[in-house]
Amino acid sequence: MTAPLTSVTGQPNLATAVVPLRDGRTGKTRLAEHLPARERGRLVATLARHVVATLLAADGVRRVLVVTADPVFVTDALEADPRLEILTQPSAHPGLNGAVEFGREQVRRRWPGDRLLVIHADLPALSTADVAALLAPAAPVTLGPDRAGLGTNAVLLRPGTDAFTFAFGEGSLARHRHEAESLGSPAALVRRDGTAIDLDTEADFGALAPPVQEWLRAGIAVPDDGQRLRALP
């Protein structure tokens, strides 16, 4: 039996967002041909700032928890906000799915009535309208597929779905849909550019609208980077 989707006031339950974020040193290696390690670190920080700021600005999101194994990097990368909490990922919860599971444990222990929105930190086109679209379905499980329709960039769970097993990684959308069906209801799918286009490859960058490409370039540029950044597709 799942918990009611609405609170006793009749209003939809608010969501706590969990954003897993590794660090600024080991991410975005598939862009190494275009950006050396220092610039990739700034890219990770720029993307994370955008995703977290968008979530905090979105109606229906109560707070944001960033789970990371590198809290010093993340604290430096993000703007302080009373609704933002940075959690150190424990060694007992390794990897991406471990980080997400640790975030869920925190939400269910501290705010059991909240919906849980898990969303990746590398969505450069994410908007508050995209977040609203994820929060809109009444299904117990809502999924935001990647642009290939194979991976998952966002998962929204309502209370009562604790048996759902996170399975991020290659081909995760099919696994997450199976998990939803195992709970007794098909997942709702929300397909929007803002949730579909993550940034891992040259092709991902090319799929972004020119204004998004430009603010990304600006976010990772320093005065001596201009020539190198023009090499991005």
| Partners of 63 in the β-ladder | 16
pTM exceeds 0.75, yes or no: yes
Q: Token pair for residue 126? A: 């994410």
The verdict on whether residue 152 carries a ligand-binding annotation is yes
The pLDDT assigned to 3 comes to: 38
pLDDT at 4: 40
pLDDT at 189: 98
CB 212 within 8 A of CB 124: yes
Distance, CA of 86 to CA of 65 (rounded, Å): 6
Q: How far apart are CA 91 and CA 68, in angstroms?
A: 11
Does the annotation list 41 as a binding residue?
Answer: no
Cα–Cα distance, 188 to 205 (Å, whole number): 27
**Half-sphere exposure for 158 (CA within 13 Å, toward CB):** 23
Q: Which residues contact 124 (CB under 8 A, 6 or more apart)?
A: 47, 50, 197, 199, 208, 212, 216
Q: Is 172 known as a binding-site position?
A: yes
**Which structural domains are found in the chain, ordered by start?**
15-222 (3.90.550.10)
pLDDT for the residue numbered 12: 58
Dihedral sign from CA coordinates of 103, 169, 37, 194: negative
Amino acid identity of residue 194, one-letter, is G
Q: List the chain pLDDT tens, one digit each, 233 residues.
A: 333 444 433 445 899 999 999 876 666 555 555 665 677 788 889 999 999 999 999 999 999 999 999 999 999 999 999 999 999 999 999 999 999 999 999 999 999 999 999 999 999 999 999 999 999 999 999 999 999 999 999 999 999 999 999 999 999 999 999 999 999 999 999 999 999 999 888 888 888 899 998 988 888 876 554 444 444 44
Amino acid, res. 68 = T
Instruction: Give the C-alpha separation, 130 to 191, whole Å.
Output: 9
Inter-residue contact 196 to 146 (CB < 8 Å): yes
Q: What is the predicted pLDDT for the residue at 29?
A: 57
